[in-house]
Amino acid sequence: MLQLNYIRENRNEVVERLAVKNFNDAELVDQIIALDEQRRKVQNESDSIAAEANSSAKQIGDLMRQGKKEEAEAIKSRSAAYKEQIKNLQDTLEQVEQDLQSKLVQLPNLPYHMVPKGLTPEDNEVVLTNGEIPSLGADTLPHWELASKYDIIDFELGTKITGAGFPVYKGKGARLQRGLINFFLDEATKMGYGEVQVPIVVNEASAYATGQLPDKEGQMYHVTQDELYMIPTAEVPITNIYRDVIVKAEDFPIRHCGYTPCFRREAGSYGAHVRGLNRLHQFDKVELVQIVHPEKSYETLEEMSTYVQSLLQKLGLPYRVLRLCGGDMSFASAMTYDMETFSAAQQRWLEVSSVSNFETYQSNRLKVRFKNEDGKTTLAHTLNGSALALPRIVATLLENNQTDKGIKIPEVLVPYVGFEYID
């Protein structure tokens, strides 16, 4: 959530930067500024009357001590009017603050100055490409056919048990899943991320704090009776560890990693591009979260991007890094890098990770603060990234590594899965 004082003091800049995200509602920005002015005016009036009431109470006490009962009673009769005025102003203030909050949460985060303008994924900026795209024969199979051939993933069984988008992993397919999770966690731990195991359902306050609500309620599974939400990513519970916490500046950077299943309704997703593992309603992911000093957040973003790339390099997957354009960024992000691997069988790039800097957008909702050198309480910056999401990693590993002997497992994964080939 954007900070009110920044909006108030930089109205034109806010409007211009939001336009990079194709958010062109200047009227909403002006309504927020007007409501903020009204809020401050009502608060000042209430404070002024409260000060008069306090002064009158002191006068009443002084007059009573001096035996001037009639004068004291006259002032006391006016005190009831003060109380009524204050109550009315507080009721008005509460309503104005509700209206202000409801409009404030409709504003997306401001994009960083390096974010390119654009409307669609085609406008994203390719930062770099790494690795050779494999050239496979005419008999190359897509991963959903390989999954059936080697009996490692059963999509139909998952549909029977739950529905489309909930596959069942079997045999070496299940071991590959478990091996990848452990590999990603071990690598993150080596990089100084403290592993946590967190709930996979969160309350409304947690979903609001990281920006999933009110923006993405239609994409989350909602347990209505208990008002809980299935997490779309471990980012939500991990970041909420620090909700309403004043952290110590000397503890920066605060780093956590965690594995969870993730749940996304993916409403409206259909067609060939979502076949197999390309888009699921339940999938496994190892997430990275950092809370850092504001001066270090973009340096941290580059470090996180480089780290995710190192995982793809160790897995031997060709990949490219994209800087997302304004129109393709998430509501809460200030800047995002996407990592995509190339699917040899599908002949297209598949997104496998997003690494984002949210600056103070999340921390303003979370109230994650620290005391800077002059003792002033300041909002921290939050970042997160997938390291990695499994489905499309598995898809490209299966497709790119198919051989006459079976599917060859990357060398770094062999100790984790216990076999060299899926055959």
pLDDT digit string (tens) for the chain, length 423 residues:
999 999 999 999 999 999 999 999 999 999 999 999 999 999 999 998 888 877 877 776 776 677 776 666 666 666 767 788 888 999 999 999 999 999 999 999 999 999 999 999 999 999 999 999 988 887 899 999 999 999 999 999 999 999 999 999 999 999 999 999 999 999 999 999 999 999 999 999 999 999 998 877 778 999 999 999 999 999 999 999 999 999 999 999 999 999 999 999 976 555 556 899 999 999 999 999 999 999 999 999 999 999 999 999 999 999 999 999 999 999 999 999 999 999 999 999 999 999 999 999 999 999 999 998 888 999 999 999 999 999 999 999 999 999 999 999 999 999 999 999 999
Q: What gap in Å lies between CA 63 and CA 252, rounded to an integer? A: 58
Check if the beta carbon of residue 373 is closer than 8 Å to that of residue 342: no
Assigned fold of 121-422: BirA Bifunctional Protein; domain 2 (3.30.930)
Specify the pTM.
0.91
Check if the beta carbon of residue 232 is closer than 8 Å to that of residue 212: yes
* pLDDT of the residue at 136: 83
Per the listing, tokens 């596959």 go with 167
* pLDDT of the residue at 74: 65
Q: What gap in Å lies between CA 110 and CA 355, rounded to an integer? A: 17
Cis peptide before 315 (omega within 30 of 0): no
Contacts 24+ apart (CB under 8 A), 337-341: 337/127, 337/301, 337/305, 338/124, 339/305, 339/308, 339/309, 339/312, 341/312, 341/317, 341/392, 341/393, 341/396
Q: What gap in Å lies between CA 222 and CA 313, rounded to an integer? A: 37
Show me where the domains of the chain are located: 4-104, 121-422
* pLDDT of the residue at 267: 61
**Looking at domain 4-104, does it have CATH number 1.10.287.40?**
yes
* pLDDT of the residue at 381: 98
